[in-house]
């Protein structure tokens, strides 16, 4: 396994700028700090030849995030960097965001930045959890299958992103050519040219969405998590106007997990 150098961390930090999000205002104008629970279904990037799957759960209390991630079907014996990405659209990239490199169609971490944003939290097994630990491969879980549980204190920006359904879980590390190791079939990593792209390309992705909150605002199901929809309702007089909040509510209603 390649070693992570200080230079590589600097390279990663360069693509993970500080995120400044507007604080999410509730319908009554106060910022949210209450308990929220979030869930994500982690889906594989087929374009990266991934067939694994997983789930992520976060219970956020203040800035304390109790994180549980379960994955299976990833490359065995290899570390899998995993992060909360924040500050963009709060969604996973479509497979159409992939590009041809080394004559092969693949999706690298940079391809997804306009969709899931930069690294907000590194979901390491120990020690630092900031963006600078984004490629600390000796502190990430090892595949093919694992359950990760850790309580992490997240930054204010990440807490706000979680509460506003803007955070995305990305698990990295793929085996594009199925030879059982990270190699250079796709060339060097976009995050650190001393690493193979296979070691850092996204494998699984899931947008975290709130499933429950501690404080329910009366009447119309307008909890903290429904803030965008609630704001939309206040502005437009109806919930079913074409907003991100509406899409979210539909998705949430249709979900059984």
Binding residues for Cu ion (CB under 5 A): 83, 170
Of 37 and 83, CB closest to Cu ion: 83
Write down the residue that tokens 């604080």 correspond to: 23
Q: Which tokens is 241 given?
A: 């106007």
Question: How far is 249 from 11, CA to CA, in rounded Å?
Answer: 38
Of 27 and 78, CB closest to Cu ion: 78
Provide DSSP, 213-235: ES-PPSSSS--GGGHHHHHHHHH
* Exposure string over 76-90, b if 16+ CB within 10 A, otherwise e: eebbbbbbbbbbbeb
Of 27 and 92, CB closest to Cu ion: 92
Question: How far is 66 from 212, CA to CA, in rounded Å?
Answer: 14
Residue nearest to Cu ion (CB): 83
Closest approach of Cu ion to the CB of residue 108, in Å: 11
Closest approach of Cu ion to the CB of residue 243, in Å: 28
CA neighbours within 13 Å on the CB side: how many for 24? 26
Is the omega angle on the peptide bond into residue 144 within 30 degrees of 0, that is, cis? yes
Give 100's DSSP letter: E
Of 189 and 224, CB closest to Cu ion: 189
Nearest CA-CA partner of 215 in 37, 90, 64: 37
Of 150 and 217, CB closest to Cu ion: 150
Closest approach of Cu ion to the CB of residue 82, in Å: 7
Closest approach of Cu ion to the CB of residue 202, in Å: 7
Closest approach of Cu ion to the CB of residue 74, in Å: 14
């Amino acid at each position: 396994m390649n070693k992570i150098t200080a230079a590589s961390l600097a390279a990663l930090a360069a693509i993970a700028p500080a995120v400044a999000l507007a604080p999410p205002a509730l319908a009554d104008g106060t910022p949210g700090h209450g308990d929220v629970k979030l869930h994500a279904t982690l889906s594989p990037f087929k374009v990266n030849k991934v067939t694994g799957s997983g789930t992520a759960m976060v219970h956020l209390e203040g800035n304390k995030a109790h994180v549980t991630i379960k994955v299976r079907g990833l490359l065995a014996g290899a570390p899998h960097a995993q992060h909360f990405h924040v500050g963009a659209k709060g969604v996973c990239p479509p497979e159409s965001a992939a590009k041809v490199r080394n004559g092969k169609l693949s999706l690298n971490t940079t391809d997804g930045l306009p969709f899931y944003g930069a690294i907000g939290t590194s979901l390491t097994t120990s020690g630092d959890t900031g963006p600078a630990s984004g490629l600390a491969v000796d502190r990430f879980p090892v595949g093919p299958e694992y359950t990760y549980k850790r309580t992490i204190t997240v930054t204010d920006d990440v807490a706000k992103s979680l509460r506003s359904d803007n955070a995305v879980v990305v698990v990295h590390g793929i085996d594009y050519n199925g030879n059982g190791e990270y190699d250079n079939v796709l060339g060097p990593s976009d995050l650190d040219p001393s690493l193979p792209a296979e070691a850092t390309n996204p494998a699984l992705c899931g947008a975290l969405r709130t499933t429950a909150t501690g404080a329910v605002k009366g009447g119309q199901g307008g909890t903290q998590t429904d803030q965008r929809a609630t704001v939309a309702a206040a502005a437009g007089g109806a919930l079913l106007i074409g907003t991100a909040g509406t899409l979210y509510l539909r998705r949430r209603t249709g979900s059984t997990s």
